Amino acid sequence: MRFFIKKTYLCTKFQEQTTIIMAPNTTNTEQPAIKMNLIGLLKNILPFVKPYRWLVILTLALTFIGSLMAQVNAVVLDRAVDAINAMMQTSFAWSQAAKLLFTISAILLGKEVISAFITFGQRYFGEKMRILISRDLSLKVVDRMLSFRMAFFSSEGNETGKLQSRIDRGIQSLSNTVNNFFIEILPLFTSAVFALILMFAANVYVGLVALCIVPIYFYLTYVQANHLKGWRRNIFSSHQAVSQGILNIIESISVIKSFNREDIEAARQAAIQDAMTSQQMNTRRLSFFFNGLKSFFEQIGTVLIIILTAYLVLTDYPGMSIGKIMYHVMLFANVSAPIRQLHRIYDDMNDALIYAEGFFGILHADDEVEDTGTWHPAQVLGDFEMSGVDFTYGNGTKALTDVTLHIPSGKITALVGLSGAGKSTIVNLLDKFYHPDCGSIRLDGHELRQWDTQWLRENVGLVLQKNHIFSGSIEENIRYGNPRATHEDVVKAARQAYIYDQIMQLPGGFASQALQLSGGQQQRIAIARMFIKNPPIIFLDEPTASLDAIATEQIKASIDAIKAGRTVIIISHNIGQIIDSDQIYVLQKGHVVQSGTPSEVYRQGGLYKDIFDASARSMNVDKIADTINES
């Protein structure tokens, strides 16, 4: 009891020190909720816009010119109506009419030609900026995730499908925000400002009427956005759930079909889709209501402009003429144009705010960045010491409790235990994928936290029960273990992994697609990848689990050859691989319960003897021996 209290105290003190001194390396994977507002969104996007400031300047210049050109029609119509009216009041002459029509046509057609070039340039440069920023956002988030600890990817909420949805929709919404600002919002609102200036210049009262409609529309849009904010967040979560659900179906399709559970999976997806459909319909219903209300106020504004201008014309107000009626109506149309687009743009902006929270939540997850130590010795011996190590995964699962063990350099150490005992967790800790909650892990006498992580992993070869094969050729996948390797090195590694003959039987040889190989062949590719790396430390986690008996024997012979003089940690349920080890540690529910040489531990009885005997019985060792003797 006294030891337990002391251990708990030390673990607590270690966690406090880790929080204070090494906060970025803690195992707490809970992501802080980032609440994004418009100012915050612009601040986060600005660093991605700055490299393309010349595109911004060109777009702004074209926007200014285009906004001026947008007022030409109103000015021309004003002058044309007054000129025609004056002409009708005097003696009518077709020569004067023809000259007037020619002038109007030339100005309007010339304006359209210039506007076409301006619009093309504005949209081209704006779209180029959007594409480049989209590329930079994508590269930035990839670089960022590659720097994260393994704990980030195993934490709740960071499942593959959800992460992909956060990234894809974040990039799409943020790049659309840039597009909306430079191609939609800026031109429309610049044109509206110029139109308002011209209206005020012509008549202050008409300008005030036009100006009064704008805040009403903005207020309705603001209220609409607030009502929709909750629904939009729910839709965002539903999109992640749908993406994750589809990914789960693809990854589990063999299991689904083998159990005839297609109906269950279809019903599960239907429930998710129905929930999202309901949320979308609620959003659309509310949007249509507010859009109709805003359209009503816009039409009221147009009616008021016509009535007021007509009244001023009828009362011979100074500077007012019949042409001013159409002039003010067309200018108000330029004012109301951005208002008509405002709800769509505002919707996109609100979507961007929501999706940006998830996207920039990844970019700003500084506490998830993998620590990089500085210890960088010329030679790595591979002598590991774990002392009083506790470890808990981000989901709350306690994997190790007070684990103490020594893995000597140049020896073979086997970790034995039932599934879930903590064997793979130890390998993950030794490779710095995770950090312990408390306790000490040392390599060659130095704390593992102090080691340069990249240098450490350059000296570790890792073969898992299920290894990832990348899209690409077989040679590319083998060379992944050593990018500087030659083709001869690749061939040698393939021979060591007993996969060379099977590769040469393929039509493309080493150029064949690695993903087309069987599971056992892919396992050999992963082993060849380890051979070509040729590291001083080797971690083997069920390296022959996917192989047949002959392949297992062949690979065992190859691994036995490479084991010499290296530190090897092996996890296996194969008795033949365990019994060859120099020492074993037996784990049960995260505790080390036995240790010693294989023969010593077997004589102790207990869990290891139970596993050993059960493995022997499962292989029918007695009958196998009788068969061999009879032959």
pLDDT of residue 27: 37
- Cα–Cα distances in angstroms (integers) from residue 10 to residues 3, 184, 388, in the given order: 10, 60, 10
Q: Give tens-digit pLDDT for 292-342.
A: 787 788 788 888 888 888 888 788 777 777 777 777 788 887 777 766 666
Residue 225 CB contacts under 8 Å (≥ 6 apart), including other chains: 346, 347, 350
CA proximity to 229, closest of 422, 391, 37: 37
Supply the DSSP symbol for 32.
P
Asked whether the predicted pLDDT for residue 7 surpasses 70, the reply is no
583, pLDDT greater than 90: yes
Predicted local confidence at residue 281, as pLDDT: 83
User: What are the angstrom distances between the C-alpha of 29 and each of 26, 71, 237, 476?
Assistant: 8, 56, 19, 34
Confidence class of residue 10 from pLDDT cuts 50, 70 and 90? very low
Give the pLDDT score at 19.
Answer: 37
pLDDT confidence of residue 232: 65
CB crowding 375-412: b at 16 or more within 10 Å, else e: eeeeebbbbbbbebbbbbbbeeeebbbbbebebebebb
Span 27-86, pLDDT tens digits? 333 444 456 777 888 888 888 888 988 888 888 888 788 877 877 777 777 777 777 777
Residue 543: partners with Cβ closer than 8 Å, 6 or more residues away:
463, 464, 465, 523, 527, 555, 559, 570, 572
Which is higher by pLDDT, 584 or 6?
Answer: 584
Rounded Cα–Cα distance for residues 411 and 428 (Å): 19
For 23-368, which CATH class? mainly alpha
Beta strands in 498-601 (DSSP E): 537-541, 567-571, 583-588, 591-596
Bridge partners, residue 585, by sequence: 415, 595
pLDDT, greater one: 550 or 604: 604
Nearest to 336, CA basis, from 200, 217, 222, 221: 217
Q: Which amino acid is at 612?
A: F
Print burial letters for 326-345: b (CB count within 10 Å at least 16), e (below 16).
bbbebbbbbbbbbbeebbeb
pLDDT at 91 over 70: no
* Higher per-residue confidence, 377 vs 252: 377
* Percent of the chain topping pLDDT 70: 86
Tokens 């911004």 sit on residue? 56
445 has a pLDDT exceeding 50: yes
∠ CA 143-149-155 to the nearest 5 degrees?
Answer: 110
DSSP-derived 3-state class of residue 155: coil
Helices (H), 70-158: 72-89, 94-146, 150-154
Reported as a single tens digit per residue, the pLDDT across 220-238 is 777 777 777 666 667 767 7
Look at residue 233 in the predicted model and tell me its pLDDT. Answer: 66
Q: Is the pLDDT of residue 630 over 70?
A: no
List CB contacts of 506: < 8 A, sequence separation 6 or more. 474, 512
Residue 451 in contact with residue 370, Cβ under 8 Å? no
Q: Contact at 8 Å (CB) between 383 and 444? A: yes
Average pLDDT of every residue of the chain? 79
In sequence order, what are the residues at sequence separation of 6 or more whose Cβ sits closer than 8 angstroms to the Cβ of residue 122? 59, 62, 63, 66, 182, 183, 187
Rounded distance, CA 498 to CA 535, Å?
19
Task: Report how far apart the first and last C-alpha atoms of the chain are (Å, whole number).
Answer: 59
* CA separation for the pair 569, 211 (Å, rounded): 76
DSSP3 helix / strand / coil % (the chain, rounded to 5): 70, 10, 20
pLDDT tens figures, 475-525 = 998 998 888 999 999 999 998 888 898 899 988 899 998 888 887 788 888
When pLDDT is cut at 50, 70 and 90, the band that residue 17 belongs to is very low
Contact, 394 vs 437, CB < 8 A?
A: no
Residues 82, 86, 89, 93, CA torsion sign:
negative
Weakest mean pLDDT among 86-90, 322-326, 566-570: 86-90
581 CA to centre of own chain: 42
Model confidence at 546, in pLDDT bands (50, 70, 90)? low
Q: How far is CA 377 from CA 80, 186, 380, 567, in A?
A: 86, 57, 7, 17
Kindly indicate the confidence band of residue 395, based on its pLDDT and cuts at 50, 70 and 90: confident
Predicted pLDDT of residue 440: 92
